[in-house]
A = this chain, B = another copy of it.
Amino acid sequence: MQILDGKQTAEQIKAEIADEVNRIKARGGKVPHLAAILVGNDGASETYVANKVLDCKQVGFDSTLIRLPADITEQALLDHIQQLNENSDIDGFIVQVPLPKHIDETRVTLAISPAKDVDGFSPASVGRMCLALPTFISATPNGVMELLKRYQIGTAGKHCVVVGRSNIVGTPMSILMSRNSNPGNATVTLVHSRTPNMADICRTADILIVAIGKPDFVTGDMVKEGAVVIDVGITRVADASKASGFRLTGDVHFESVKTKCAFITPVPGGVGPMTRASLLQNTLKAQALREQL
Q: Which residues of A contact B (CB under 8 A)?
A: 106, 122-133, 135, 156-157, 165, 167, 171-172, 174-175, 178-180, 185-192, 194-196, 201
Contact = CB atoms under 8 A, between A and B. Distances in A.
A187 B187 contact: no
Number of copies: 2
A157 B195 contact: yes
Nearest to A126: B127
A194 B128 CA distance: 22
Given A187-B191, A188-B189, A196-B157, A128 B131 contact: no
B190 A174 contact: yes
Contacts of A192: 178, 180, 185, 187
A190 B191 contact: no
29 contacts: A106-B131, A123-B123, A123-B124, A123-B130, A123-B135, A124-B124, A126-B126, A126-B131, A127-B128, A127-B129, A130-B130, A130-B171, A131-B167, A156-B194, A157-B195, A165-B178, A165-B179, A171-B175, A171-B179, A180-B192, A180-B194, A185-B192, A185-B194, A186-B194, A187-B190, A187-B194, A187-B201, A188-B189, A188-B190
Residue of A167, A187, A188 with most partner-chain B CB within 10 A: A187
A54 to B, nearest CB: 30
Contacts of A124: 123-124, 127
A175 B174 CA distance: 9
A185 B194 CA distance: 6
A274 B227 CA distance: 41
B130 A122 contact: no
A252 to B, nearest CB: 20
Residue of A125, A131, A132 with most partner-chain B CB within 10 A: A131
A206 B93 CA distance: 44
Contact of A128 (B123, B128, B171, B178): B123
A132 to B, nearest CB: 8
Nearest to A186: B194
Nearest to A187: B195
Nearest to A165: B178
Contacts of A135: 123
A106 B127 CA distance: 13
A74 B201 CA distance: 48
